[in-house]
Amino acid sequence: MTISSIPTSREQLWALLAEAAEIEHHLMCCYLYAAFSLKQEADAGLSSEDLPYVLRWRQEILGVAIEEMGHLAMVCNILSAIGAPAHLAHQNFPIAPGYHPAGVVVKLTPFNPSTLQHFIFLERPEDHDVADGAGFEPPQTYHRLTNMNRLMTVGTDYVTVGQLYAIIALGMTSLTEKLGEKVLFSGNPEHQLDEATGRLPGLKVVRCLATAQQALDAIVRQGEGAAASEERSHYQRFIAIQQEYESLVASRDDFQPAYAAAENPVMRIPPTPEGKVWVNCEPASSLIDLGNALYNHCLRCLSLAYSGVGRSTQALLVRTSIDLMKFLSPVASRLAQLPANLEYPGVTAGVSFATIRSSAALLGDVTSLGILAERLDEIAGRCERLGQNAAGQDDVLTATRDGVAHLATRLKAHVAGAAEHGAIAEGAEQLAPPVAGARSHAALASEGSPHTPVVSIAGGPPQPIPMSDGYERIPGPDIDLIYSGKRCIHARYCVTGLPGVFMANVVGPWINPAAASTEDLVTVAHMCPSGAIQYKRHDGGQNEQAPPVNILRVNENGPLALRAETWIDQVPAGMRLTLCRCGASANKPYCDGSHNTIKFRASGEPDSRPSDPLAARGGPLFIEPELNGPLNVTGNLEVCTGTGRTVDRVRTARLCRCGGSANKPFCDNSHRANGFRS
């Protein structure tokens, strides 16, 4: 690189970072497209013996794509740190010559030997001589203007993506010397995403030149690899897949691990059809429309997360964005199995990741969340109509409809909270209230009021009265006990503390509130860690109140015990809960004792992490179980060992529930590799 290729102004640095963001975004889409084209079950050209290889390749490529999303988020953090908005837009595929240097060819292609070689070429270290895949030759040779000492931004030539980041790093250093570090890095850090809110490992807030350089180093190291021997770099991971692929091809002439998905599918009649396939066959035409709608709305949510909203709103927007990408995956995989265009026999469709002109971030106020929810309702409605027109019930459309409708409900609940407590603009940390119609556990406990007289049989325990959600109310003279068998983890505080009330090993009714004082009953109920035992007083005394400090205790070889006013998926879940962390419970997210059956082993004494005291220690706690992933927690929470030592103090956290994290109780994304399902 030459001195003239180094940015000399903030404007030029913005432009290079925006190009880096688009490179990461383009690569992510290309990797996803190839992964979605891989078969997921035995088929013509893929035996059941070879299927595990292909499923592993799919997971590996998806993992690389997720890391590219992390790189994109890191670049957006740097942009935000130097005063620019996050850059999440990109050109539609295929990328026209001149948009990137001549040697960087970007187009959507299915998994095949040429595509795999192209991925290796794109991720190659600068000192490696690697050939590009066949069919990815640049359509023309050209050179970009590299003199950056101009007012308007210009592009620069670079051989590898790593070289682009080297130019950016030199530009940041030069501008820091020219402007001063505080002047260059003047953006508000609260506009950025971190590992907790962004749910991407290693994602850190950029505040200065050192943290910006660390982010760039992490991107290059994870992509190209600091050395050819770094096995988990993208370069080495693609080479490993290529070696396995070539070995299987050598032993089976008819080996076909992927569908013949279209090269550069498009939704509309292209004005320049060369190198593109117009997807006009049904149902593929409708599904590519749905897939692109999910993808664009994901970008909208993510853009708003960077716009200076409060932290709880930011975390909600990121969760919504990630969930939309999860809903996109089965839609895109289904597209790869459907005919694209009758003029191209044997060619199947694929999602085109087409972006729309109105993809810019919405304004950071409460109306934007309402607009996002409105769009989700539209997408859910379209899934409903497509499902009605399909021959039989389409499981992908049904799952997408239900999932998107849930996201809309979640956003509306947050809007209702903002309307009650104030705007969602920067610094507003109010959390959402219950969804309209949701009942608190106090209301649940009062079902059947006015107080029903005690009904006992031959002086024994009274008959329990069925309630909602599997609860039973056992009436007593001054206090009714509320019991849930599904929540019970058999901690045995009840049968050992008050054996005259909680009579083990009896047939029929086994709880008799009349056999102990109200104070003793309240004490034992509060000792129940799972919330299986609750109560409703009708003697004028105080019912259970939210604790002043929200505590999560990590039990040795067992569940996570939570004490807080908790809402799960915007539905009240009580003040005391035990949450599964072994991955085996049949009553997720609650523990059902399966950790004993599978002999789960996990320390109850994880290492403490540096943390500052929370400004507030109580208040409502919101848990959103991620599909096939961790528990996403928002609210004030102190994580403690089983013996009470503080592990961390958090406002947002991702808690492992697959049992596989090496960083328990926190998620390290092991669920992606171990096949956890929830």
Measured distance CA(397)–CA(403) in Å, rounded: 10
Q: Global pTM? A: 0.74
- The verdict on domain 551-674 having CATH code 3.40.190.10 is no
Q: 647 φ, ψ to 5°?
A: -95, -45
259-433 and 551-674: same fold? no
Measured distance CA(121)–CA(672) in Å, rounded: 26
**Structural tokens at position 245:** 């692929």
Q: Any residues with CB less than 8 A from the CB of 599 and at least 6 apart, and which?
A: none
What CA–CA distances, in Å, run from 614 to 177, 494, 638, 649? 37, 34, 9, 7
Contact 576, 530 (CB under 8 A): yes
Measured distance CA(625)–CA(631) in Å, rounded: 4
At residue 469, the pLDDT reads: 75
Measured distance CA(561)–CA(180) in Å, rounded: 49
What secondary structure letter does DSSP report for 52? H
Where along the chain do its domains lie? Answer: 1-252, 259-433, 441-537, 551-674
- Name the fold adopted by 1-252: Ferritin (1.20.1260)
At residue 452, the pLDDT reads: 43
Measured distance CA(455)–CA(461) in Å, rounded: 8
Q: Which residues of the chain have pLDDT under 70?
A: 1-4, 224-230, 358-361, 366, 390-393, 417-459
Tell me the residue type at 607. D
DSSP 464-482: PEE-GGGEEEE--SSEEEE
Tell me the residue type at 664. K
Measured distance CA(451)–CA(256) in Å, rounded: 69
**Interhelix angle for 113-122 vs 234-251, to 10°?**
160
Count the neighbouring beta carbons within 10 Å of the beta carbon of residue 121: 20
**Count of residues in the chain:** 678
- The burial of 91, by beta-carbon neighbours within 10 Å (0-12 exposed, 13-18 middle, 19 or more buried), is given as middle
- Nearest residue to 642 via CA among 581, 532, 552: 552
At residue 438, the pLDDT reads: 44
**Structural tokens at position 557:** 């070889």
Tell me the residue type at 675. G
The angle subtended at Cα 44 by Cα 43 and Cα 49, nearest 5°, is 60
At residue 442, the pLDDT reads: 43
What three-state secondary structure class fits 258? strand
What secondary structure letter does DSSP report for 5? G
635-664 confidence digits (pLDDT tens): 899 999 999 999 999 988 999 999 999 999
Give, in words, the CATH class of 259-433. mainly alpha
- Nearest residue to 57 via CA among 244, 269, 270, 255: 244
The angle subtended at Cα 139 by Cα 137 and Cα 142, nearest 5°, is 105
At residue 421, the pLDDT reads: 43
